[in-house]
Amino acid sequence: MPGKRTRKSAQPSPARAPAEPEVECAMQLRRFGDKLNFRQKLMNLISKLFRSGT
């Protein structure tokens, strides 16, 4: 297009090195555990809020 400058292309970020399967599995399990822990804490909070006087 006339009047428009072309954008300078940025350096592409280097590709992520493939992790070892054990490390990748451990990271996924950690994420999964964190999600479950968050859900459990949230459910505990909700149950405390709605619990009747006891």
Indicate the average pLDDT of the chain.
Answer: 81
Three-state DSSP class for 38? helix
pTM: 0.53
Cα separation, 7 vs 1, whole angstroms: 12
Widest distance between CA atoms in the chain? 73
31 versus 1: the higher-pLDDT residue is: 31
CA distances from 5 to 1, 23, 48 (A): 8, 45, 59
Question: Residue 44: inside a domain, yes or no?
Answer: yes
pLDDT, residue 8, reads 63
Nearest to 19 by CA among 29, 11, 27: 27
Specify the higher pLDDT residue, 9 or 32: 32
Please give the tally of structural domains in the chain: 1
Q: Tens of pLDDT along 16-50? A: 666 799 999 999 999 999 999 999 999 999 999 99
5 in a structural domain: no
Specify if 23 maps to a domain.
yes
Q: Residue 10: pLDDT band by 50, 70, 90 thresholds?
A: low
Tell me if 11 is assigned to some domain. Answer: no
Residue 33 lies in a domain: yes
